[in-house]
Amino acid sequence: MTSQLSLPAGDFGIYYVLAECTDYCDTLPVKEADGNQPHFQGVTGLRNLDNTCCVNAILQCLCSILPLVEYFLTGKYITALQNDCSEVATAFAYLMTDMWLGDSDCVSPEIFWSALGNLYPAFTKKTQQDAQEFLICVLNELHEALKKYHYSRRRSYEKGSTQRCCRKWTTTETSVITQLFEEQLNYSIVCLKCEKCTYKNEVFTVFSLPIPSKYECSLQDCLQCFFQQDALTWNNEIHCSFCETKQETAVRASISKAPKIIIFHLKRFDIQGTTKRKLIHYPLTNLDLTPYICSIFRKYPKYNLCAVVNHFGDLDGGHYTAFCKNSVTQAWYSFDNIRASQ
C-alpha cells in the first residue's frame, strides 16, 4: 500500500480518525468466521433500495468508525436515548449490529432508511440525493436522540454605576456525536482601519474545503487554501464594533478544538457550477493539522485515514461508492452497491 491515496476528483468526503483513537477494535465483541468463505466483521454489503447509493456509501463509512460502532454494539446508547426521538438511533444500532455481528454478506438498510425518511422525506424519493446532506442529517438525528444536558456556572460582569461580578448558569448539549465529530474554528477578524481585533467561534461536524485551481494537488494544499488569510472588501465588508460602521477586514481561521474524528468534504463545483476534474492526493496515515491549530493550545493531533466517499458524475446525477478500512483485517474494501471487494 502506498503512502498516498489518490482518486479522480468527484464530490467526495474523507474520514480521518485521530491516531490515538484507533485501538477500539480490542473492545468490540469478536465472532469467529466459519466455512470456506469467511465473513469478516464489518465487511457487509448494503442492498440498494432504488437509487440509495449515497445512503449506503455514508453508512459504510460510519460502520468503519470504531469509536462510534463500539458505542452502539456495547449498548451504551440505550441509557442516553431520548424517548421522543429514539427511532433513528435504535434503527442505526440494529443496522450496525447486523453489519458487524451478523452472518450475511449483505443486509438491507431499509428500516434505518425508512426511519430517517419519516423526518426527511426527500431521502425516500427515487432520485439521487446528496451524500453530504444525508450525513449531516444522520449525525444531527443521532445527536438529538442521544444528547445530555450539562449545567455549569461561569463568571460574568454586569455593567452599571458599579461593575460587579456574578455567576450565571449555562447549558451545553453533549452526545457521542459531539464527543467524536465536533470541531471548533476560531476566526480572528482585524479591522484594516482601526486595527482592532475581534474573535468569533464556529462549531461544526463536516469540514468543507476548497480545491485549489491547479489540476493535481494534495489535501494539505486544500487545507492551506482554507486557512490562508482572507481580505474582505467591497460588498463583503464586516461591521466593526469599534468604528461602528462596515470596514474592510482581514480574517484568518485556526482550529481551537480538534475532533477525534474529522470529516473533510472537498468542494468539486465552482461558482458557475462547472466540474473541476482534478486529482487529489491524501495521506493514509499521520495527517498533521499542527500548522492550523491555535497557538494557545498544546495539542498537535495527527490522523489516520479510515474511509472515503467518492461521487462519479455531475450536477445532474451520478453514483456514490465507498472505500473503507476494516479494523479487524486492516485491509481496504471498496463498496459499490451490495458488493464488497478488497
Cα distances from 48 to residues 52, 178, 256, in angstroms, run: 5, 30, 40
In this structure, what C-alpha cell is assigned to residue 118?
Answer: 419519516
CA atoms within 13 A on the CB side of 164: 6
Burial of 284 (0-12, 13-18, 19+ CB in 10 A): middle
Q: Which residues, in sequence order, are bridge partners of residue 332?
A: 325
Per the document, the length of the chain is 342
Catalytic residue among 21, 53, 54, 217: 53
Residue type, 219: L
Tell me if residue 265 is catalytic: no
Catalytic residue among 243, 281, 319, 324: 319
CA pair distance 44, 105, nearest whole angstrom: 5
CA pair distance 228, 315, nearest whole angstrom: 29
- Helices 110-119 and 131-146: crossing angle, nearest 10°? 80
The residue assigned the cell 464530490 is 11
Q: Which residues, in sequence order, are bridge partners of residue 342?
A: none
CA pair distance 275, 151, nearest whole angstrom: 47
Tell me if residue 319 is catalytic: yes
- Sign, CA torsion 302/183/224/15: positive
- Under 8 Å between Cβ of 307 and 282: no
Cα torsion 48, 208, 326, 37 to 10°: value is 20
- Backbone phi, then psi, for 266, in 5-degree steps? -95, 125
Q: List active site positions.
A: 53, 319
